[in-house]
Structure 1
Amino acid sequence: MKKPLIINKPLNMTSMDVIRCLRKITGIKKIGHAGTLDPLATGVLIVCYGKETKQISSFMDMIKEYIAQINLSAFSETDDAQGPITPIEIKHIPTAQEVQLVIQKFIGNIEQMPPRYSALKVNGQRAYKLAREGKPVELQPRQIQINSIEILKYEWPLLTIKVVCGKGTYIRSLARDIGTTLKTGGYLTKLERTAIGKYTLTEALELDNIESIKDTLDLDL
């Protein structure tokens, strides 16, 4: 099995934007990614090409690591900084200890409600399309696994955490749910995926540098 391309997805690009760029750079048409990152997220994007696209599902099953920044002073319609922001009245600013106690509740096998603005399908249509059209979005909670959550920094209203989790976890939903449990707001302001399995950000290629090193890649399809 060939080693996949490990890309550092740039800010404000979709995961499919990265694939289109790679197709143009390499001339390879059969390329796919393992695990979508939202436009406002950066970090590790695993890309398979040629016959190795059959291995995509195995990469998607791997444990993932994220660094997330959460704003606790408001909620967002999209659960991140892209959507309309609704500030809320904060009656009590939680202490670091209170935040730590709440975070512990989200570690383990838990049920999580996906964001309304997500690529999940509802009756054959993408949830985000229904939400944009103002139509009801009826999603079901899903079982996910969160291995660990570590507080890296907390200065009200911003909370920065490191999350290690399994497939299907929405960090946007985690941000929202942490805020709801704290009786504050909660929406994602920054997200970086730092690892998928053994593949880390330190080995990721910058998209604007790939063309200069593409000749060193194993492109024998």
Structure 2
Amino acid sequence: MSRRRKGRDVHGIILLDKPAGFSSNQAVQKVRWLLQARKAGHTGSLDPFATGMLPICLGEASKTAGFMLDASKTYLAEAFIGQATTTGDIEGDVCLEQPLPAIDPQLIEDVLASFCGEIEQVPPMYSALKHQGQPLYKLARAGQEVERKPRPVTIHSLDLVDWKPPLLTFKAHCSKGTYVRTLAEDIAAGLGSCAHLKNLRRIDVEPFRERDMISLEALENAVQAGKLEQILQPVDAGLVHWQWLELDAESAIRFSHGNPVETDSDKAGLIRVRDAAGKLLGIGEMTAQKLLKPRRIMHL
């Protein structure tokens, strides 16, 4: 029997450019294996057929993952207009075909504009949402369909990138919980047709940008060349918009031991906490009484 590799301590965030064909968990495990890391997780899944940004939190960075789940995201989507599938993407079977109506760029622009702002979206059956404890996609595979309540999502912007019938490419900047497959179907309905997603790429997850992504191949090369530190984002890279609070030596010890700390700070809410040397101690929450309560303690 082979011995299980315990791994090593790696702390930081890898912005993986996930390839098609990998589930998010498979991608995480691949990165964990490449880095021989003890602990790894992601901040929000991507469908297997989709590509693009998958922030992977390693080691102590995993303690920040839960605070990044609400991040807005930007997608580049290519929809096949005139053909619908059972899953809303290329992985499903064709279930409806319609003649392509007369569609011009101005009509597309008008339809896209109608979806901007807060909208109600019905989650697709092929999703990980649960109904009476069962994931919807399992019910869908069994041929069942259940009623889903519309959920509010926000479309910050929706831009036409290209229209080469029957392929419509658009860019969507949206809130968490937005199903781009459903958005593509709704856009097609507004154009008088049906659709499914042919390609989907996530290019941004706030506050990260596309230029900082790295492929599995490039990551493997960097590890072999001993250049991991050059591509590893800091543990708190996903919280750069948060305020800092610096503690003196005595208060830093109290905080690091999980004890509340009295302060004279006017800061409020969740904040990053560091010592006088700039070392990240963790995440704290300020109360109205100026008491700093530890929420996550880092061991770096």
Question: Which of the five TM-score ranges fits, normalised by the shorter chain?
Answer: over 0.9
Residue type at the aligned position of 1:113: V
Which whole-Å CA distance do the structure 2 matches of 1:147 and 1:136 have between them?
30
Q: Is the radius of gyration larger for structure 1 or structure 2? A: 2
List runs of 5+ in structure 2 lacking aligned partners: 1-10, 236-298
Amino acid at match of 1:109: E
Equivalent-residue separation in structure 2 for 1:103 and 1:43 (angstroms): 23
Q: TM-score, normalised by structure 2?
A: 0.69
Secondary structure, in 3 states, of the residue corresponding to 2:127?
Answer: coil
Contact 1:93-1:156 at 8 Å conserved across structures: no
Aligned partner (choices 79, 97, 100) of residue 106 of structure 2 = 97
Q: CA deviation at 1:179?
A: 1.1
Structure 1 regions of 5+ residues with no counterpart? none
Contact 1:70 1:158 in 2 (8 A): yes
* Match for residue 209 of structure 1 among 218, 222, 225: 218
Aligned-residue identity in percent: 34
Task: State the distance in 1 between where 2:200 and 2:100 align.
Answer: 27
Deviations 1:79-123 (A, max 9, x none): 111101134332722221111111111100000111110111111
RMSD over aligned CA atoms reads 1.8
The answer to which of 88-97 and 201-210 deviates more is: 88-97
* Contact 2:108–2:191 (CA under 8 A) maintained in structure 1: yes
Equivalent position of 2:200 in the other structure:
191
> Is the 1:122–1:138 contact (alpha carbons within 8 Å) kept by the matching residues of 2?
no
**Stretch moving more, 24-33 or 208-217:** 208-217
Show the counterpart of 1:32.
Answer: 41
Residue of 53, 56, 74 corresponding to 1:47: 56
2:115 maps to amino acid: F
Kindly indicate whether structure 1 or structure 2 has the higher relative contact order, using CA contacts under 8 Å at least 6 residues apart: 1
CA contact (8 A) 1:66 1:195 kept: yes
Task: Give deviations 1:140-196, integer Å, cap 9, x for gaps.
Answer: 211101000010101111110011111111100101111122221111110111111
Are the counterparts in 1 of residues 123 and 148 from structure 2 also a CA contact under 8 Å? yes
1:22 matched to which residue of 2?
31
